[in-house]
Amino acid sequence: MLKKLTITIIYIFLLVFNANAGSDGELVLKKDQPQEIKDCFEKLNRATFAFNQSLDKALIKPIAKSYRDLPDPIQKGTRNAVKNLSNLITIPNNILQGDVKIAIINTGRLVVNTTVGLLGTIDVANKMGFPKYEKEDYGQTLGKWGVGPGCFVVLPVLGPSTVRDTAGSFANILGGDPWYNISVHGNNEFLSEGVFIASRALDGIDFRSNNLESLDNLEKNSIDFYASLRSLYLQDRENKIKNNQRGRVDVIYEDEGDWEEIDNK
């Protein structure tokens, strides 16, 4: 109970902060104009970024390299399983955004892949011709509702975000179980927070493994690696919120993921 109350207070605080200190000091709803998102906490962000880089070099990158050495079927099965679990976040956001038809399709995708696809390790829905899967999250939903992004922030371990997206991430755990009360094997066993954390960790390792060379090259060729990643993240989030498929920057990671694009302009 105390945990839920604490999370709720933080969530409300972040939304209120965002409404009062949006990207340009106030909440402005801009439909077709790109927003200039301020780096209000740049000194703190750069310090956190440096910590994340140290953690990446010491732990995450070596794990990602070892993960890459695993047989391709294991990597693909892990990627599919994590992607399947992400439907549990995407589906309610489809509904919140008014995309009921897509929510029904993604529900069918979840059921098919979880059962016939052996807990999502095989993407049977894709083989059956389901429409291309697009992840949605609460940050995207808040953006589509007109909530401004607020300031850019760098979170420990989790990396680039904004005040709005950070607030949106708390919605995953407001109900207690971040993956909701879904049934496993037809009984009332619920997926735990441990499963949620493990799935996010695997997703991050898979992403890092697929982008070892790309991120290394970006770091090597960037005058300011921090500023480059900040720009890429904000462009990617804006594209995802607008569901913009035109004029997108080149993708360096073929599967859906976080801030996966390199600007070649």
How many structural domains compose the chain?
1
Residue 42 falls inside a structural domain:
no
159 has which bridge partners?
155
Residue 99 falls inside a structural domain:
no
Asked whether 175 and 192 are in contact (CB, 8 A), the reply is no
pLDDT for 253 equals 38
pLDDT confidence bin for 244, thresholds 50/70/90: very low
Mean pLDDT of 168-183: 52
Asked whether 232 and 264 are in contact (CB, 8 A), the reply is no
Residue 203 falls inside a structural domain:
no
Residue 9 falls inside a structural domain:
yes
pLDDT confidence bin for 260, thresholds 50/70/90: very low
Residue 201 falls inside a structural domain:
no
More confident site: 187 or 98: 98
State the Cα–Cα distance between residues 71 and 77, nearest whole angstrom: 10
262 has which bridge partners?
250
Q: For residue 108, give the nearest of 90, 241, 98 by alpha carbon.
A: 90
Residue 7 falls inside a structural domain:
yes
Does residue 114 have a pLDDT over 50? yes
Residue 206 falls inside a structural domain:
no
pLDDT for 161 equals 92
Mean pLDDT of the chain: 76
More confident site: 119 or 47: 47
Residue 226 falls inside a structural domain:
yes
State the Cα–Cα distance between residues 158 and 56, nearest whole angstrom: 11
Residue labelled with tokens 């439907």: 87
Domain span at residue 57 reads 1-17+51-69+138-177+212-265
More confident site: 253 or 55: 55
pLDDT for 176 equals 36
